[in-house]
Amino acid sequence: MSQRIRIGKIATLLAMLDESEQTPFESMFQEVETCTGKVGSMNMQKVISSVETAVKRHGLIEEGVYRETHALYHTIVEALEGVTRGQLAIGETMRTVGLRFAVVRGKPYSEVKEGEWIAVAFYGTIGAPIKGLEHEAIGLGINHI
């Protein structure tokens, strides 16, 4: 592979690690733009909106440029498919999620023509809306901008 920066790996690490655990990886994080946050909901739209809002507030995508918003949306949905095991539903199937997310934007390829890419990672829990009846879940999506 001709990748120089692993944006998926960086996003997954950021989503999974607490701030105090990130120190050994700080040099890796400096090569890309990042954004992190948390979301808990039984509503898929709220999960998507939370990530989009955080990304726009951190300036990771240019709000008025459709291809950037479009790439982010598809990347979020791809990551959610991992969390939901391919069944893109939570509240409708009596499931709730409590997730940390990380979004990474960078140029993973050494060839300049490959351009920028975006990765979204989720890590947290999914399960019945009853405390203690959830389990860990993770999802990763990567898309070109």
- Asked whether 137 and 116 are in contact (CB, 8 A), the reply is no
Residue 122 in this model has a pLDDT that exceeds 60: yes
Show the tokens assigned to 126: 């999914």
With bands split at pLDDT 50, 70 and 90, how would you rate the model's confidence at 57? very high
Tokens of 102: 């990380």
Looking at residue 41, its pLDDT comes to 92
Query: Is 124 a residue whose pLDDT tops 50?
Result: yes
DSSP 110: S
Q: Please tell me the predicted confidence (pLDDT) of residue 1.
A: 44
Q: Residue 3 has what pLDDT?
A: 66
- Identity of the residue numbered 69: T
What pTM does this model have? 0.92
User: What value does the mean pLDDT of the chain take?
Assistant: 91
Contact predicate 2/111, CB 8 Å:
yes
**Predicted confidence (pLDDT) per residue in 1-41, tens digit:** 456 789 999 999 999 998 877 777 677 778 899 999 999 99
Q: What are phi and psi of 109, to 5 degrees?
A: -105, 145
